């Protein structure tokens, strides 16, 4: 074993416990799971965004040797029911149900599934399937005729309230310093490197699905609802996930269709959807348009903040991210008005993508803050210091902890911010204009109900079972660390089993909640085991000690006075064999039905900014150097630095990787990523990962992550704040602000490209 791997308590940096499997090719992702004699499925997706299927000619496709069947709306027999929209108490990420009728509701909707003996035959037959459409003019989004604008409040049936306080418009009108501007963010796609795949297998009426999932219990229960099955008859296995970033959080419609195909063929069916199909059969980050007004007094203290945003969504689904929930709470300001609207268009339903609300809305707010700093003649860090607050301004609730300014101070010192000449276009190296920018980053601290089973065997090994997910965040490792800490065992003695809906349910791997939620319940299970061992230690070396003072440490039960009993002996007193504990936890502040919802596979995260007593979030400060070529306007980010405070860091090694990856995601979002849509046809143009640009190794020379120590006492017993989505939030504005500093040109639309600064 590598150095350090045996020492893996909370706060240490062991290498990943699943690292060896990942570097040897032994880690099995969904499409790697072997099933006997699978048939292959190939999707055929719509060539129009709105209209009707006029005719389907299957003859040439069916003539391909090896073709077994073709599913279309004509051959479906109502096998797939409605699982409901996840945000309305259901399961599905989109309520658009393909193959239910002849309607086409967005580009790339599944219109047929070809089933064949081999993948090559399925692919060939899919190419030979002829579909004729009766096309209608689609609305692509902003500026399209026929798109329908509604307020988020109205779309939610009144359950969503735009946060606000005071009279922002009047205060803005009277403010000494004012900035007002429009911002735009594009459609973006997660593009995890693992494709969207599904393998379905039926055995004696039981369905097993192998599919990369951020929420195996949600997928299991949603599938059961769609197929009219007892959830106990459905199992979802997802031991490793090849990247997710939100794309695998909610049920997509393909899964039930592949299950139906497998039931019809009476053999396992395997689907590996193509990269371009992945752009339309799963979700994406919605395009936004935003308007921000900031008013301040002559000292730079905010007196008015207005933030309005409009987000594109599908015709049927009121999906929203409403990042105003965050942007209205960050800075002290007595007058705030926000409004979120939705634009229904002929698009697939968007969904969660890493830092869903914060990324687009913080781009606008933090750009506007930089504009205000410039207008006020203040250093952008000083502006944030003057508006820092330990209470959010909407309800006046305290932050459980907040280390924004320590992050700015630490980051500024490491970055060399004091050397910055504040004047735009003032820093230059040869032909390159140099710009330094910074921005606040924030991610709310979410928590969810969770369950886990922990088994300690007399040989000093522990097994932890919880249906959490490894999407690259290091969950296997941090869960093992929690058990190693709780049971006083070396990390190598802890086995963690996850990613299987037959295991005790864990929350969706979203909202950066899992490390806090799952480690907490695992520690509770370990505490119950400790308590049983301590209660039984009435004789032997620990006789007479107060059981409450006994601790499990280094393979023994130990008293504060140094007396100790080896674990095997302590276990022999407490049990004849293994000790097994099943723990359930509802985090403080979450409703009592949170556990029930967890067992039903319904997402019910709490905490964050929704609390009644307090609000909680992780903060950070991000610093970027950009270089813009004075003649070609080529844009580069030679270095980027983030200083972050997120309570207790369970594993600094994996946490650093998360934040580093987040910063690079931010570079991609700011400079590269946009899914281009043909506004007339409402179809994607660059649906592949050569033309949908994501950062490559050469794009990121230097990334530095600093941790600012922070003690969090309220959020959860371990003091953990999730950080998987903290890194990429501030980056967009930090880069735009640096571009302004380099060039004097304020770019308010992402991504920032050569043509943006010419």
Partner 1 sequence: MTPPNRDLGRRGLLGAGAATAALPLPSGPTQAAVPPQQRPDMTLTLRINGKAHPLTLAPRVTLLDALREHLALIGAKKGCDQGQCGACTVLIDGHRVLSCLTLAATAEGREITTIEGLAGPDGALHPMQQAFLEQDAFQCGYCTPGQILSAIGCVREGHAERPEDIREYMSGNLCRCAAYPNIVAAIEQAKPRMERA
Rounded to a whole number of angstroms, the distance between the first and last alpha carbons of the chain is 54
Give the three-state DSSP class for 448. Answer: coil
Q: Which is nearer to partner 1, 504 or 661 (CB)?
A: 661
Closest distance of CB 687 from partner 1, Å: 8
Q: Which is nearer to partner 1, 24 or 576 (CB)?
A: 24
Closest distance of CB 697 from partner 1, Å: 4
Q: Report how far residue 252's alpha carbon sits from residue 218's, in angstroms, rounded to the nearest whole number.
A: 11
Q: Which is nearer to partner 1, 539 or 691 (CB)?
A: 691
Q: Which is nearer to partner 1, 83 or 624 (CB)?
A: 624
Q: Which is nearer to partner 1, 13 or 100 (CB)?
A: 13
Q: Which is nearer to partner 1, 26 or 180 (CB)?
A: 26
Within 10 A of 614 (CB to CB), how many other CB atoms are there? 17
Q: Which is nearer to partner 1, 28 or 391 (CB)?
A: 28
Beta bridge partners of 557: 552, 565
- The answer to whether the beta carbons of residues 49 and 104 sit under 8 Å apart is yes
Closest distance of CB 195 from partner 1, Å: 6
Q: Report how far residue 244's alpha carbon sits from residue 586's, in angstroms, rounded to the nearest whole number.
A: 26
Q: Report how far residue 586's alpha carbon sits from residue 505's, in angstroms, rounded to the nearest whole number.
A: 13
Query: Cα 570 vs. chain centroid, distance in angstroms?
Result: 42
Q: Report how far residue 620's alpha carbon sits from residue 445's, in angstroms, rounded to the nearest whole number.
A: 13
Q: Report how far residue 590's alpha carbon sits from residue 447's, in angstroms, rounded to the nearest whole number.
A: 8
Interior/surface letters 286-319, b for 16+ CB within 10 angstroms, e for the rest: bbbbbbbbbbbeeebbbbbbbbbbbbbbbbebbb
Q: Report how far residue 103's alpha carbon sits from residue 425's, in angstroms, rounded to the nearest whole number.
A: 54
Q: How many Cα atoms sit within 13 Å of 379 on the Cβ side? A: 12
Closest distance of CB 377 from partner 1, Å: 36
Q: Where are the alpha helices (DSSP H) in 130-251?
A: 152-155, 168-173, 216-227
Q: Which is nearer to partner 1, 19 or 458 (CB)?
A: 19
376 token code pair: 């006020």
Q: Which is nearer to partner 1, 666 or 719 (CB)?
A: 666
Closest distance of CB 756 from partner 1, Å: 18
Q: Which is nearer to partner 1, 584 or 699 (CB)?
A: 699
Beta bridge partners of 53: 133
- The answer to whether the beta carbons of residues 205 and 71 sit under 8 Å apart is no
Closest distance of CB 309 from partner 1, Å: 26
Reference 487, options 453, 522, 512; nearest CA is 522
Within 10 A of 137 (CB to CB), how many other CB atoms are there? 14
Instruction: Give Dmax over CA atoms of the chain in angstroms.
Output: 84
Closest distance of CB 71 from partner 1, Å: 14
DSSP string, 99-111: TSSSEE-STT-EE
Closest distance of CB 326 from partner 1, Å: 23
- Whether omega for the bond prior to residue 48 falls within 30 degrees of 0, making it cis, is no
Closest distance of CB 577 from partner 1, Å: 31
Q: Which is nearer to partner 1, 322 or 637 (CB)?
A: 637
| β pairing state of 67-71 and 110-116 | antiparallel
Among residues 109, 154, 725, 749, the one annotated as catalytic is 725
421 by Cβ neighbours in 10 Å (0-12 / 13-18 / 19+) ranks as exposed
Q: Report how far residue 742's alpha carbon sits from residue 547's, in angstroms, rounded to the nearest whole number.
A: 64
Q: Report how far residue 701's alpha carbon sits from residue 625's, in angstroms, rounded to the nearest whole number.
A: 11
Closest distance of CB 490 from partner 1, Å: 18
8-state DSSP, 709: P
Decide if 725 is catalytic. Answer: yes
C-alpha distances in angstroms, 533 versus 479, 536, 562?
22, 5, 17
Q: Report how far residue 734's alpha carbon sits from residue 620's, in angstroms, rounded to the nearest whole number.
A: 12
Closest distance of CB 23 from partner 1, Å: 4
Give the three-state DSSP class for 208. Answer: strand
Q: Where are the alpha helices (DSSP H) in 457-507?
A: 475-487
Interior/surface letters 433-462, b for 16+ CB within 10 angstroms, e for the rest: bbbbbbbbbbbbbbbbbbbbbbbbbbebbb
Closest distance of CB 273 from partner 1, Å: 10
Reference 720, options 573, 516, 558; nearest CA is 516
Q: Which is nearer to partner 1, 649 or 694 (CB)?
A: 694
> Which residues form the catalytic set?
725
């Amino acid at each position: 074993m590598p150095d350090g791997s045996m020492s893996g308590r909370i706060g240490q940096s062991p290498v990943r416990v699943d690292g060896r499997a990942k570097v040897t090719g032994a880690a099995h992702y969904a499409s790697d799971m072997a099933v006997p004699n699978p048939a292959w499925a190939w999707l055929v997706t719509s060539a129009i965004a709105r209209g009707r299927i006029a005719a389907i000619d299957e003859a040439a496709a069916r003539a391909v040797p090896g073709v077994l069947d073709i599913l279309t709306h004509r051959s479906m027999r109502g096998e797939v029911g409605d699982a409901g929209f996840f945000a309305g108490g259901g399961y599905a990420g989109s309520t658009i149900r393909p193959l239910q009728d002849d309607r086409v509701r967005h580009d790339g909707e599944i219109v047929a599934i070809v089933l064949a003996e081999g993948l090559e035959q399925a692919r060939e037959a899919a190419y030979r399937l002829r579909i004729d459409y009766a096309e209608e003019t689609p609305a692509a989004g902003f500026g399209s005729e026929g798109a329908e604008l509604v307020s988020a409040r109205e779309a939610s049936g009144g359950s969503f309230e735009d946060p606000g306080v005071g009279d922002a418009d009047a205060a803005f009108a009277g403010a000494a310093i004012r900035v007002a501007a429009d911002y735009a963010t594009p459609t973006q796609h997660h593009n995890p490197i693992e494709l969207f795949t599904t393998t379905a297998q039926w055995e004696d009426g039981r369905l097993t699905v192998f599919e990369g999932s951020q929420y195996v219990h949600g997928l299991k229960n949603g599938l059961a609802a769609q197929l009219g099955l007892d959830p106990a008859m459905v199992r979802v296995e997802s031991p490793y996930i090849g990247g997710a970033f939100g794309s695998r959080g909610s049920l997509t419609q393909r899964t039930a269709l592949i299950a139906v195909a497998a039931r019809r063929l009476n053999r396992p069916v395997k689907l590996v959807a193509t990269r371009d199909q992945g752009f339309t059969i799963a979700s994406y980050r919605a395009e936004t348009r935003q308007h921000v007004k900031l008013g301040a007094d002559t000292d730079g203290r905010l007196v008015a903040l207005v933030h309005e945003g409009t987000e594109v969504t599908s015709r049927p689904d009121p999906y929203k991210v409403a990042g105003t929930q965050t942007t209205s709470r960050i800075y002290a300001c007595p007058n705030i008005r926000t409004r979120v609207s939705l634009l229904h268009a002929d698009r697939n339903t968007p969904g969660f993508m890493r830092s869903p609300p914060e990324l687009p809305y913080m781009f606008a707010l933090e750009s506007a803050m930089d504009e205000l700093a410039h207008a006020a003649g203040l250093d952008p860090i000083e502006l944030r210091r003057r508006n820092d607050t330990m209470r959010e301004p909407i309800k006046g609730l305290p932050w459980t902890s907040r280390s924004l300014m320590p992050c700015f101070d630490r980051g500024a010192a490491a970055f060399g911010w004091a050397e910055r000449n504040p004047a735009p276009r003032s820093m230059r190296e040869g032909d390159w204009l140099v710009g330094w920018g910074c921005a606040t980053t924030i991610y709310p601290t979410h928590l969810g109900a969770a369950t886990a089973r922990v088994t300690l065997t007399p040989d000093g090994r522990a097994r932890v079972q919880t249906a959490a997910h490894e999407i690259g965040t290091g969950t296997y490792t941090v869960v093992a660390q929690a058990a190693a800490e709780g049971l006083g065992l070396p990390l190598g003695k802890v086995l963690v089993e996850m990613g299987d809906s037959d295991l005790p349910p864990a929350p969706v791997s979203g909202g950066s909640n899992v490390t806090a939620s799952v480690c907490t319940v695992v520690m509770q299970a370990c505490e119950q085991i400790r308590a049983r061992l301590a209660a039984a230690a009435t004789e032997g070396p620990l006789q007479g000690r107060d059981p409450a003072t006994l601790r499990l440490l280094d393979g023994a039960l130990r008293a504060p006075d140094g007396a100790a009993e080896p674990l095997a002996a302590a276990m022999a007193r407490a049990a004849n064999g293994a000790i097994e504990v099943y723990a359930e936890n509802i985090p403080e502040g979450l409703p009592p039905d949170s556990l029930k919802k967890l067992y039903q596979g319904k997402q019910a995260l709490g905490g964050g900014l929704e609390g009644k007593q307090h609000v909680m979030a992780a903060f950070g400060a991000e610093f970027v150097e950009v270089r813009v070529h004075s003649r070609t306007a080529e844009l580069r980010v030679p270095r980027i630095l983030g200083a972050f405070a997120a309570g207790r860091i369970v594993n600094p090694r994996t946490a650093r990787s998360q934040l580093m990856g987040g910063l690079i995601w931010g570079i991609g979002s700011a400079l590269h990523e946009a899914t281009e849509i043909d506004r007339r046809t409402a179809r994607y143009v660059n649906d592949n990962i050569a033309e949908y640009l994501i950062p490559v190794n050469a794009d990121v020379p230097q990334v530095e992550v600093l941790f600012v120590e922070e003690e969090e006492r309220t959020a959860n017993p371990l003091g953990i704040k999730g950080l998987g989505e903290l890194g990429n939030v501030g980056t967009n504005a930090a880069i735009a602000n640096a571009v302004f500093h380099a060039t004097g040109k304020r770019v308010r639309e992402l991504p920032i490209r050569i043509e943006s600064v010419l």
